[in-house]
Every structure is written in structure tokens, then in C-alpha cells.
Amino acid sequence: MSSLHPLDDYHSEGKRKARKLVRKALTRPVITSILDTTVWGEENVEGLDGAYIVVGNHTSHLDAPMVFSLLPDHMTERLATGAAADYFYRKKGISKLTSLFFNTYPIERKGKYSGPETGRAVGMTGRLLRDGIPILIFPEGTRSRDGKMGRFKPGAAALAIANEIPIVPLAMTGGYEAMPVGRFLPTLNHPPVDLFIGKPMHAKDGEDAEEFIDRVQTHIVMMLDQRSANPDPSVTPTIKGVTGAPDASGDVSGLDEAGVDDAGLDDAGTPDDAGTPDD
């Protein structure tokens, strides 16, 4: 097996400055010109540093560009996200471009990647977190096909527990309406999108990964329902169209088996498709 994928680039001051320049000169102006964007809850992450996992709902190809363009600079300058090695890392030019925009790292999807570089990306998510790099994960594992939120896989929570780091809940609205699955460009009516940044959440004593991720998803559901970065936990959500998600009490009864038994982890203990760009 080849040597492991190096982590130097994720600490490079030069690459950090290049990403900041791209955000300031290109991605942020483009996103704000085609979308009517509003960010709520920046005060919840003031002073946040070190490793953490940003967890959000996923309805559109716009989600990752919105996150990397609209989150506060102190988060986006180091935030990394997984990209499918079989698609984004086969050609050096493509990998460099996606890295410049999204600070990506390779994820080897089972059965979809083989070659001389196979095995270099083993355990990348955990290695980056242990090295102090924050990670973005969409724990549904794929974009919603109908705008409804799917059940979160517990891989992100397992990583947070194992590394004793917080999860930052992120609720996004408007992405599906602006660019649903099947569209190659956003709608042209300057659609409104909102990004709600919640307070960092830590696992409770004795809480396992599924319990923790259910609590995170419940919080995101409340953020969406109340359209608030700081929702009132005493208010029962009225939001509709959440598929297989826990309710406000954390009850997950009645879920189908899909998603319940899938831990969202590969053999190295890192997310497989959760957080990986999908088709």
C-alpha cells in the first residue's frame, strides 16, 4: 500500500490565503449575486477554534458552496470536506481545483476506487480531526431528492465522541427550491436562502453515536421549524416532510431499516458517503 495521503496542505498558510482570496473575489460574490442570502447565529461560533464537525442538512449542490462562502472566515479558512477519490482525485487538475474551492480531502468509496493510490486516504477524516482540522459532513449521505430531510447516519457523531470534539449544527433553507436535484444551474429569480448556525453541541456522558446524532438532527429540525439559530427547545416542531428523522422528543420509533443499521462508517472508522459529494 502507498504511503498515507499527507496532511501538510491542510496546514499551509499559502493555501489558506489562496482559498480566502478565492472566497472573497469569486465564490462569495457569485453566491450572493445569484441568491438572496442571510446568515444567522454567527455569535454562536465566535472564538470557536481547533477541531470540530459541522453537520448540516443536504438538499442541493448549492449547499457546499453556500457553507464555504457564507460561514465566518475563521471557520472557512481551515474547514475541510471529503470528496470522492474515484471522481475528484483521478486527475490532478480536478483535485487541485476542488481543493482550492472546498479544501477537500479524498474519500475512497468502497468498490469504486482502485489504482496505485489506493489506500492512501485510509482514515483521512480521523487523521485531520486529530490534527486540529475542522470537517464538514452531510450525514444524510446524499442530497434529498424531494426536499425532505432523511435520517442522519451516526458516523459524524461517532467521530465527535471518539475525538472529544463538538458538532456545530447547521440548518439551511432555500437550497432545494433554488437548485433541486436535476437542475444544473440555480433558478434565475434570486431565490432566498438562509443559513442558521447553532451553538456547538457535545455528546453527553454515556451517550452513544446514534443518540447523539439524533439529538443533533432534532436540534436542526427545530432550527428549521422556528427559523432560528437558537430555537426554543420547549416548542414542538410543526415542520413537515422529514423522512425518518427523530421528533423533538428524540423518538425514532417507526423508522424503516434503511439508515437505522447503517453506521455510516468504513473500516477505518471514518464516514464513507456522509460528507462525500454525490451524483
Q: What is the DSSP string of the chain?
A: -PPPPP-GGGG-HHHHHHHHHHIIIIIHHHHHHHSEEEEE-GGGGTT--S--EEEE---STTHHHHHHHHS-HHHHTT-EEEEEHHHHSSSHHHHHHHHHHH-EEEE--TTT--STTTTTTTTHHHHHHHTT--EEE-TTSS--SSSPBPPPPTHHHHHHHHHT--EEEEEEESHHHHS-TT-SS--SS--EEEEEEPPPB-PPTT--HHHHHHHHHHHHHHHHHHT-SS--TTSPP----BSS---TT---TT--STTTS---B-TTSSBSSTTS---
Q: How much is the pLDDT for 3?
A: 79
Task: Average the pLDDT over 72-78 and give the result.
Answer: 93
Count of C-beta atoms within a 10 Å radius of residue 205: 5
* 131 or 179, greater pLDDT: 131
Q: Compare 94 and 227 and report the one with higher pLDDT.
A: 227
| Per-residue confidence band for 92, with pLDDT thresholds at 50, 70 and 90 | confident
Average pLDDT (67-71) is 94
Q: What pLDDT is stored for residue 109 in this prediction?
A: 72
Q: What is the pLDDT of residues 16-40, one digit of tens each?
A: 999 999 999 999 999 999 899 999 9
pLDDT of residue 262: 28
- Taking only the tens place, the pLDDT of each residue in 126-169 is 999 999 999 999 998 766 666 678 899 999 999 999 999 999 99
40-67 burial: b if 16+ Cβ within 10 Å, else e: bbeebbeebeebbbbbbbbbbbbbbbbb
What pLDDT digit, counting tens, does each position of 181-214 carry? 777 777 778 889 999 999 999 999 999 999 999 9
Confidence at residue 115, expressed as pLDDT on a 0 to 100 scale: 58
Residue 99 has a CB neighbour count (10 Å cut-off) of 21
Q: What is the pLDDT of residue 152?
A: 94
Residue-level pLDDT at 183: 75
Is 106 or 162 the better-scoring residue by pLDDT?
162
Q: Is 50 exceeded by the pLDDT of residue 239?
A: yes
Q: Of 47-51, 73-77, 116-120, 186-190, where does mean pLDDT reach its minimum?
A: 116-120
> Which pLDDT score is estimated for 248?
45
And the C-alpha cell for 47? 472564538
Which pTM value belongs to this model? 0.82
Number of Cβ within 10 Å of residue 19's Cβ equals 22
pLDDT for res 276: 41
